[in-house]
Structure 1
């Protein structure tokens, strides 16, 4: 992991948390509770989100802007990463494309073990990465994937899977589990 500023990591993670809000429409209280753990309100988070959205708006300089935001210093590496603050069991890694954009980026478990619920619909948000979810509830098929900076559902991936003889869908953002629901067909 790169040496980064913890305050800047928290700001960036707050930005990421706000990008998850449309994937968690029925769980606003969960989002607000996560922010409150760090003395923040949703209004604070939206201000941080606006500032970082502007900072990352130029695709050609996204990766270098993220490096500067995180205080990672100028290095010749094509990736950077940090240990999560909002999600301390996970590490975030971002890579740069040849155009200077951030591509790909997301979280993976680095510490601890996943706590597995009785069913995928009972699994708490942010408790697993994609690989862990597939291990416990999969296999899955990706049905939808948005770009990292999509206006509505950034870095959102929708999976479908069968579990206990029924069809389900699961949503992930930035590599973290958000929700699972029974599919009505």
Structure 2
């Protein structure tokens, strides 16, 4: 079992919806206006390292505290469900503190590689090959880098309404993925 285009595309789309880099453009623009330059390269590399590391170490942490992957995947499906509701309905269920600087901390973590992304990675690991997940992470990091580099142009091109539509579409995709993830892993809890 190795590289699979379908798995790569699915993982890439799931991570794209969870990371929601287009939905984060207003936050990125606000940060840039407050503190000046955003270090796109540094933030992208650190986010990739965090995500790939967690993909491997996260499973060991679960074993250490006695939680199986199915339980974590079901819990992750709930997190994805609520993230999708936030995106679709335009509500805020989880409020994070506003960052003071545009360094690695607010951009790479938690904006890109946040709790939703970490939960998603371990949930995806229960269903997809590791190589496809890593390639999905790298593809998303490339998109994140390009968006960070050109956030002002994207904001001007799409406008507030365009960004809102994109956010809602990916919210519906994420909601469907959450339901699928729940259905695929809930059976494993009762075996």
Q: TM-score, normalised by structure 1?
A: 0.27
- Judging by fraction of residues, say which structure has more helix: 2
Q: Which one scores higher on RCO, CA 8 angstroms, separation ≥ 6?
A: 2
Q: TM-score, normalised by structure 2?
A: 0.26
